[in-house]
Chains A and B, each alone.
Chain A
C-alpha cells in the first residue's frame, strides 16, 4: 500500500503550497480553541476551509481537519460547530482527541471519517482498541514515545491505520498529557490549543544578550550572535541537581527521513509532518523533500539524503530521530 504524506497548513496559502509540493493529504484547523495550534493570525475560517478542501480535491489531495482540543464542561458549542463545518466543507476526515467530541461526531456525523489525534495519547493495543470499538476510529496518530520496533509490534495487534510523525517540532512530553504551559501561564494545549502562548512571551534585552521569559519565568537566554527559536517551555534551559541544562529537550527538530522505509515496513499507513505554525516556505521545502523520500522508497530506489536537504529549516539547526531510536529515552 502506498504511504500517505500528511502535511501541515496554518493558512490557506500554506495549504496550496503543501498541495503543490506533493502532499497526499493536508491537515489544518479552524481559527479558534478547537485546534491545538490556536496562535494569533493562524488557521481557517469555515469559508476558507471550504475553498481549501476544493483546491486540495481538485489536485488529488485530501484534507484532514484537526479538532483536537478538550472542551471544558459547559463550553461544547465551538467543537460542535467545528465538526459541522468540517463536514460541510467536505473534509476527508477529522482528527479528534476528546471522548465527548468523538462521541458527538460518531453519533451526529456518521459520514465523517474519524482519526484519533496524538493528543489522545493512545499508545497501547487496549487504548487504541477502545477508541476503535467505541467511536469507530479508523486511524490513530501515534504518540511520539514509541520506538520503530514497538510500532511494528503494535500494528500487528490493532485493526486501525497508524500515522507517525516524521519531521518538525518535537514534544518531549507525551502530548495531550502535559500541563506545563498552563502551570506557568494559565493556558495549555489541551484547554486552549496553545503551548507557551505568545501573549506571555517576553524578549528582554540585557547587557550580555537576550533573556526569554514566559509569564515571568526565564526559560532561556541567548548571546548576541546566537540564533533564537520560539520559546517553548520544555525546550528551555533550567537548573537541576546543580547543572544548567536543557533538562527536557534540546532545541532540536525531529527528522525521521532516514527511518521512512523502516516505518513503512512496520505497517505505518501515513507519515506526518509537524508545523502548522510555520511559513509556507518551510511547508513547500519539507513536503517536496519528503515526497521525494517516499517516492524513492516506493520505487525501490536510492534513499534521498533528507537530513542534509532540510538542515537549514530545523530549529536550532539540529536534528534527532527522537523516540524512534530507544536511546532517546
Chain B
C-alpha cells in the first residue's frame, strides 16, 4: 500500500497555506464553482438529488477542510474546521485530491486504494466521482478563470503540482499510475 509513501505538501507550502485568511479563498472557490455550473450545467445534472449534499473535503496536510455544496448556481464552498461533519467525507493528501479532480488519477483507485479515505453516503460519493470523471476539469476551473489566462494558469499550476509532487515523492516511490 501507498499510505506511508503518500505525498504531503512540503513544509514551506504548509506554512503558507495556514497563514492564508479563509474568506478570500471561500469567495474565489464559490465563484469558480458557480461559473462552472454556468458553463457546464450538464455536469451538475449528473449529481441529481445529491447536488444538495454537503461534501467535506479534508486535505490531510492542511489544517482546515472545505465544505462543498455543489448545488449548481447556488453552489457554495466554505473553509471549515477539519472535524466538520457533512453527508460525505473525503480525506487525503492535497496533491492526490487535486490529481483526482483533473482526472490524472483513476477514480476507482482513488476511492478504493485507501490512500484517500471516504465515509458517509456512498450513493452521493459515487455520483460525485462519476460527475468528476465526466468533467475532465482543469485547475483553472477551480479558480474560475478561462481563455488565455486559464490556459496560463493551468500550465503554471500543473507544473507546480508536478514540482511539488517531485519534492514530496522521491522517484523510487509509486507514481499515480501505480495506484
Contact = CB atoms under 8 A, between A and B. Distances in A.
Contact of B108 (A13, A14, A42, A279): A279
Given A13-B134, A48-B42, A282-B106, A202 B178 contact: no
Given A14-B133, A279-B106, A225 B3 contact: yes
A280 B105 CA distance: 10
B113 to A, nearest CB: 6
Contacts of B108: 230, 278-279, 282
Interface string B95-117: 00000000100111000111000
The majority secondary structure among interface residues of chain B is helix
A21 to B, nearest CB: 15
Interface string A30-69: 0000000001111001001000000000000000000000
Contact of A13 (B47, B124, B127, B133): B133
A284 to B, nearest CB: 10
Interface residues of A, number: 29
B42 A40 contact: no
B1 A197 contact: no
Nearest to B106: A281
B52 interface: no
A215 to B, nearest CB: 12
B122 interface: yes
Interface of A: 10-14, 39-42, 45, 48, 197-199, 201-203, 205, 225, 227-230, 278-282, 312
Given A41-B134, A228-B112, 6 more contacts: A12-B134, A14-B133, A41-B46, A48-B42, A199-B123, A225-B1
24 contacts: A10-B130, A12-B134, A14-B133, A40-B50, A40-B123, A40-B124, A41-B50, A41-B127, A41-B130, A42-B130, A45-B45, A198-B122, A199-B121, A199-B123, A203-B119, A203-B122, A227-B114, A228-B113, A278-B108, A279-B106, A279-B107, A279-B133, A280-B133, A312-B177
